[in-house]
Chains A and B, each alone.
Chain A
Amino acid sequence: MRLLLIEDEPKVANFVSRGLTAERFAVDVARDGNTGLEFSRSYEYDLIILDLMLPIIDGSEVLRAIRSRNTDVPILILSARGALEDKVHHFEAGADDYLTKPFSFAELVVRVKALLRRGPITRSSTVRIADLELDRLSQRVKRAGRRLELTSKEYSLLEYLMTNPGRVFSRNMIIEHVWDQSFDGLTNIVDVYVRHLRSKVDDGHTRKLILTVRGVGYSIDNAAEP
């Protein structure tokens, strides 16, 4: 998979490309809008990550120019402007996703992968990790064959974590997905709900499935069975 990163801030470009390379993506970096546009014309990219504040040609211009030639490539916008009008405006201009700085790298990866998976998403109704089983249709969760009684928020939380096993979800990602933006800034709400969920899922089992990555967030362990 080949990605194009159009970002003028060297350090941001640096860690994003390093991180994505570590995720086994091939990453090209363009430092201004003009170069980015040229790159996008020269290669077939699987995905373009576009910063909005660019020298020479503004990110919005680049977005429009790319879209006018290539309607397929997924484009993810990075921006320091978080206002909703901005987002709507760029979605209308053809962006597929929008990430506000400062973003967590974990979130970037989740979104990139989601965009690459696009198309008809065939989601099986049952997700299984180790002996934990979640049925999306009946909204039932079983651990080692025994049914777990979860509240609706706990269920949403677990379902979200299980969409991408092994991936770390930041508190903000969880809040925006399970609650909504209004609960931003209330990060301890995630901790409290995860603690409860964990006691229901992991208590009495030697293998702990819900992991805390300190400073980053939470994930579901998908390591192979020991």
Chain B
Amino acid sequence: MNVHALRFRISVWHAFLLAGALTLNGILTYTIVRHYLIKGLSISVEYHARTIGEKLLANYAARGEEYLNNELSERYAAEIYPRFIRVTRKDGRVLYQSTSPADLGFNPALLSVPKGPFTGGYLRTETFPNGHHLQIYTLPFTGPDGSWYLIESGRTFDTADQVLRRLLWALAVGLPTLVGVSLLGGNLFMKQALKPLEDIERYAERISSTTQSEPMPIPESGDEVERLARSLNRMLARLDETFQRSNRFSADVSHELRTPLTILRGELEEAVRRQGVPELLDSVASALEETDRLQMIVDHLLEISRLDERKGLRERVRLDLGDMARTTTEQMRLLAEVKSVEVRYVVSEGVEVEGDPLYLKQAIVNLVDNAIKYAPMGGWVEVRVASGDHIGILEISDNGPGIPSEALPFLFDRFYRADRARSRDTGGVGLGLAIVKAICSAHAAEIKVFSQEPHGSRFRTEFPLAGTKSDLRSIHNRAR
């Protein structure tokens, strides 16, 4: 699990959703504001048209053209309100037309008087070449004396446009800012919230690569993370208990088997000593050989259990991995010689690790024995010792047939055999690599196997270098 990836994912989703919601909200706001602005404009121009009709034109006949001009100029001075007012008589004569507004936004003279027939007041929009819009209400009006006029009252969209433009600006700047701020805040908050998860991750890595089993620290946050940590702890405790129990069981079984094995062995050996019927002797000898195998299985199982119980290491001393690999392999030289297998050494000097010499030696013996077994007649086995980043590397390779990829995950399991028929011939009991694995775990070492049929196998073990044993994290970092 990568917490950083999770944090990134949540942040991106959060930003996406937030941006989407804000955009939608912006569009809605814009649409509604625009609608109300236009509606307000329409109501306003209609109102003014009707007012002109009812308040001024009703008196036009009595008071004359002068009055109308004065009143209109006074009420609707274009210099003050960028409005358009025009009153036309039935014969087409314009009684009043407002002048250009102060900002010269539009020129009223450019607007032609609409032609009839008119059935009532209506709204229309005029666009000027310079881009200004005008909302105009056109009202046919019949005065009390029966005379007919056409009143046009208009107003530019300028104010509305300005409001809308500002709104758009506010949205365009505000939205990314909001998203950014919330992303940053969310990320910080999430980092805080996920920190316990990171702790759990670190803890889990530590226990999976070492044999420690102390409970993980519980964050007192009272949230899901605390609950997760608690249930993980319960699970670990149960697992540990199961593990210990099965380990205990395997140790007990091995232990209990020892007495009957002793008896079996003793009786069979005595039968051999008595030198009875030759055929019988043969059977007894065969039974003895099988007793040997049983004994080996029992011994090895007990060894693994003891190592797994974390009390396996009898001592920890500083030793030279290269020296040990070389001298140990030398003691098995004849095994290679009878198969004409060449043993090569690629050994760096001074690679020092800390460990139990007998166990480390046993791991080397098992790996080398394995390699010699699988190397073909006249083949080779390579023993390589090198140091890496805080680690001592021991690699045993052979040019044998390799290991089927489907067998690789189970290779270190107890009693697992990639090639059953063959390993029985060579006398193995299927525990050699399980022991190696247990020895490595007890030394906080990692073991990996690289193999590809038919190009041989390479077993690689990585031990913490001596003096850096407390610095286990560096290994984990590297492995990550």
Contact = CB atoms under 8 A, between A and B. Distances in A.
B292 interface: yes
A152 to B, nearest CB: 10
Contacts, number: 124
A214 B279 CA distance: 13
A137 interface: no
A105 B98 CA distance: 131
A103 B296 contact: no
Nearest to A78: B262
Contact of B259 (A22, A80, A183): A80
A196 interface: yes
A55 to B, nearest CB: 14
A137 B465 CA distance: 41
A18 B286 CA distance: 23
A25 interface: no
Nearest to B300: A185
A184 B262 CA distance: 18
Nearest to B306: A83
A101 B296 CA distance: 12
A184 B334 contact: no
A103 to B, nearest CB: 6
B230 interface: no
B314 A186 contact: no
A154 to B, nearest CB: 9
A85 B426 CA distance: 33
A82 B267 CA distance: 22
Interface in A1-37: 9, 11-12, 15-16, 18-19, 22
Contacts of B286: 215
A183 B300 CA distance: 12
B201 interface: no
Given A101-B262, A171-B292, A182-B358, A215 B299 contact: no
A126 interface: no
A106 interface: yes
A100 to B, nearest CB: 8
B362 A182 contact: yes
Contacts of B267: 11, 15
Interface string B284-313: 111111011001101110100010000000
Nearest to A153: B331
A12 B332 contact: no
A15 B369 contact: no
B421 interface: no
Interface secondary structure of B, over-half rule: helix
Which of under 10, 10 to 19, 20 to 34, or 35 or more describes the interface residues of B? 35 or more
Contact of B266 (A105, A183, A192): A105
B365 A192 contact: no
B255 A80 contact: yes
A192 B295 contact: no
Interface string A186-208: 11110011001000000000000
B373 to A, nearest CB: 9
Given A180-B361, A186-B365, A215-B268, A102 B314 contact: no
Contacts of A22: 270, 273
Given A83-B306, A186-B365, A187-B292, A105 B269 contact: yes
Given A153-B334, A183-B331, A12 B266 contact: yes
A193 B272 contact: no
A181 interface: yes
Given A9-B263, A19-B266, 9 more contacts: A12-B266, A83-B306, A104-B269, A182-B358, A182-B359, A188-B427, A192-B335, A215-B284, A216-B272
Interface of A: 9, 11-12, 15-16, 18-19, 22, 80-85, 100-106, 151, 153, 171, 179-189, 192-193, 196, 213-216
